[in-house]
Amino acid sequence: MLGILGDRSRRGADSDKNGVAQYLGLSDSTLIKWVRKQGPDFEFFEGHASPPLSGKVELYLGWYPDFDASGFETKMKGRFGKFDVTWYKKTSNGLIRQETVIPLDEHLKALISIEAKRQTNIDKLAAEVARMPRFSPK
């Protein structure tokens, strides 16, 4: 799955700004600190918001995202970079969670999960991830 987010070289698990953030195409981002995990047939990125924001982003890239819309309370149409998406939203224990699945090609899918206590933080984190080369309009 080399190059799924742009023309970046493959790196091991890494959380420094010039490692994972550069691989994701957000080397200038200061809003999210990323950790990359490699699965047997997928890439998984976990991002934690930098203060003053709070929240977490999970980004799965692979053929078989584990997603079940039945556990969500709200379904909303929206835009994520160049993609029209359907966001699924639920609130539990004071946390808001939004998820969407984006088909990137015939097989590859992105599952994006964003969790925070405030909707404004979710919106800011979503906007930052939508800037990635794979999602942003050219």
Q: Nearest to residue 15, comparing CAs of 60, 53, 38, 45?
A: 45
The predicted model scores a pTM of 0.82
Helical (H) or strand (E) element with 27? none
Q: Which pairs from 6-14 meet CB under 8 Å and 24+ separation? A: 6/132, 6/133, 6/134, 11/36, 12/36, 12/38, 13/37, 13/38
First to last CA, the chain: 21
* pLDDT at residue 41, rounded to an integer: 86
* pLDDT at residue 3, rounded to an integer: 38
Amino acid at 49: A
Share of the chain above pLDDT 90, in %: 56
CA 70 – CA 43 distance, rounded (Å): 25
The domains of the chain are located at: 20-129
Amino acid at 104: L
Instruction: Specify the CATH class of 20-129 in words.
Output: alpha beta
Q: CB within 8 A of 64, min separation 6: which ones?
A: 41, 42, 109
Q: Prior bond to 52 cis, omega within 30?
A: yes
Q: Nearest to residue 39, comparing CAs of 23, 15, 59, 69?
A: 59
Given a cut of 50, the residues of the chain with pLDDT beneath it are 1-18
Helical (H) or strand (E) element with 22? helix 20-24
pLDDT in tens, 128-138: 999 888 888 87
pLDDT in tens, 75-90: 999 999 999 999 999 9
